[in-house]
Structure 1
Amino acid sequence: MEMRSNLYANSEVAAGNRSYSEASEYSYEDVYVNEDNMDAHKTRSTEKPAKIASGTNTAGSTCHRLTAVCLGLLCVLLLAAITVLWVKFTAERNQLQTRLNNVTNQNEQLKDNCCQNKLAAIDLYGQQGWFYFRSKLYYISLEMKTWSEGRQDCNNRGADLVIINSREEQEFTVKMVGNSKAWIGLTDTAKEGEWKWVDGTEFTTEYWKENEPNDIDNNEDCVEQTNKKGWNDNACSEKQMWICEKSAF
């Protein structure tokens, strides 16, 4: 009886040991399975952000490349525009410089011509009594003749009786006359009251003395410059000094 009791007891112990062993095996297997599941979960958890990060990096790189390309194109266009403007500016500057050079050369030539002519006029004045004033030469006679004779003398000198067109010229001829009188190139011999210069033009500026012209005895058809800073009509047969005028150039 005791032997049976021991056998049963041993059987129960063995069964208990198998149960414990099996439970232990299951426990270890569950741990391994759980660890595998956790590793797999960790792997999936880490893979997703990697994929997301990879996608984000790809989009960012593409955006950066597009930005770089756009900036490059803008730089190229800006450089092209600057080049075109520079070429245009250079061409216009060269044209302006050429025009300026031409004008400068022309001015220098005019100066040279003017100075040469003025020197020639001064020499002429020193030799024959001509005065230079504003591109014109003026001669006042030292003798007295009628209006027609005085004009003929001017013609013989390559000139004509003076034509006065400005206040400055009027004042200049008054100084030439001084305290005397001198014929000028104004007359109404063709038609009474229609005063004309010797070149056939009507006068547009007049410097008559007070109460002149008065045509005394209906015989005063020629004009003289007086020392009173004004014109006076007188008989053309009167003998006066005269003033000739011609271009200096």
Structure 2
Amino acid sequence: MARQNNYQNTVAFEADETSLKRLSHKRTLSILTSLALLAFLLAISLIAMAILYFQKERKLEELEEVVEKIRASLWLSNVRSKEALDNVHFLENISTAFSEIQARLEKANASRTAAQGRYRNLLGLVSTGWKFYDGNFYYFTQVAKSWQDAEKACRSYGAHLSSITSRQEMQYLQREASGQTFWIGLTDQQEEGNWTWLDGSKYNQRVSFWAQGQPDNWYGAPGHQEDCVHLAGQWNDVSCTYSYKGICKKVSP
């Protein structure tokens, strides 16, 4: 009986030990399975994180590219704006220069027109017998008239009976007169002894060319007055009613 009990106990112990081993093996498998699952999940998580990281990096790169494009666009816009402003300024300068050139051309055209008109006037004067000397034109009339009528004739030409204000002018008129007698524009009709030129030139006693003993206001003249002057080699005061040719003078146009 004792052996049988011992054998039964031993069998029961062995059975328990086997059960424990099986249980332990199951637990080990369960733990290993759990660890494998955790490892798998961790790997999945790492892969997912890696994918998200790379996606994030790509998004950042794309964003940086967009930012760079925006910066480039803004830079080009600024450049173009500057170029546009430069072009506007350039066009404004061109417009100003063109206006100046146009004004100069108009001025030059006006000068040319004036010069053509002046040339026509000069040509007309010369062709009708006027003589040019030292910036003035002179016309020696061929019809003898009183001093007043000779002055009227000169005015009809836009001139006056000639003044003589320099020795050179006096010598020129003496040569052109060729010894003939001509009225000149000197008179003291307004006030005796106060000589004036009809064309407004200032009378200068020191630049005068009176013949010897003149002016004398000769008492034997008609009306006992000699208020007008003629050129007869030198100056001589005579009655304004006498008839002589006249020397007309006008400033060059």
TM-score, L = length of structure 1 = 0.57
Give, in whole Å, the separation in 2 of the partners of 1:5 and 1:114. 158
Report if aligned partners of 1:221, 1:234 keep a CA contact under 8 Å in 2.
no
Report if aligned partners of 2:150, 2:161 keep a CA contact under 8 Å in 1.
no
Give, in whole Å, the separation in 1 of the partners of 2:135 and 2:114. 12
- Indicate the RMSD between aligned Cα atoms, in angstroms: 5.2
Q: Which one-letter code corresponds to 2:247 in the other structure? A: I
2:169 to 173, 180, 187: 173
1:225/1:82 CA distance change after superposition, 3 Å: farther
The answer to whether 1:209 aligns with 2:206 is yes
Report if aligned partners of 1:121, 1:248 keep a CA contact under 8 Å in 2.
no
Identity of aligned residues (%): 15
1:215/1:132 CA distance change after superposition, 3 Å: closer
Q: Which residue of 2 aligns with 1:132?
A: 132
User: Which structure has the larger Rg?
Assistant: 2
Gaps of at least 5 residues in structure 2 are 219-225
Give, in whole Å, the separation in 1 of the partners of 2:134 and 2:109. 22
1:36/1:206 CA distance change after superposition, 3 Å: farther
Report if aligned partners of 2:184, 2:231 keep a CA contact under 8 Å in 1.
yes
Gaps of at least 5 residues in structure 1 are none
Report if aligned partners of 2:147, 2:228 keep a CA contact under 8 Å in 1.
no
Give, in whole Å, the separation in 1 of the partners of 2:231 and 2:32. 146
> How does 1:53-202 map onto structure 2 within 5 Å?
53=57, 56=60, 60=64, 63=67, 67=71, 70=74, 99-125=103-129, 130-133=130-133, 136-139=136-139, 149=146, 152-153=149-150, 155-156=152-153, 158=156, 160-163=160-163, 170=166, 173-177=169-173, 184-192=184-192, 194-198=194-198, 201=200
How much has 1:192 moved relative to structure 2?
3.4
Give, in whole Å, the separation in 2 of the partners of 1:43 and 1:193. 132
How much has 1:25 moved relative to structure 2?
0.5
Q: Which residue of 2 aligns with 1:31?
A: 35
How much has 1:190 moved relative to structure 2?
1.1
TM-score, L = length of structure 2 = 0.56
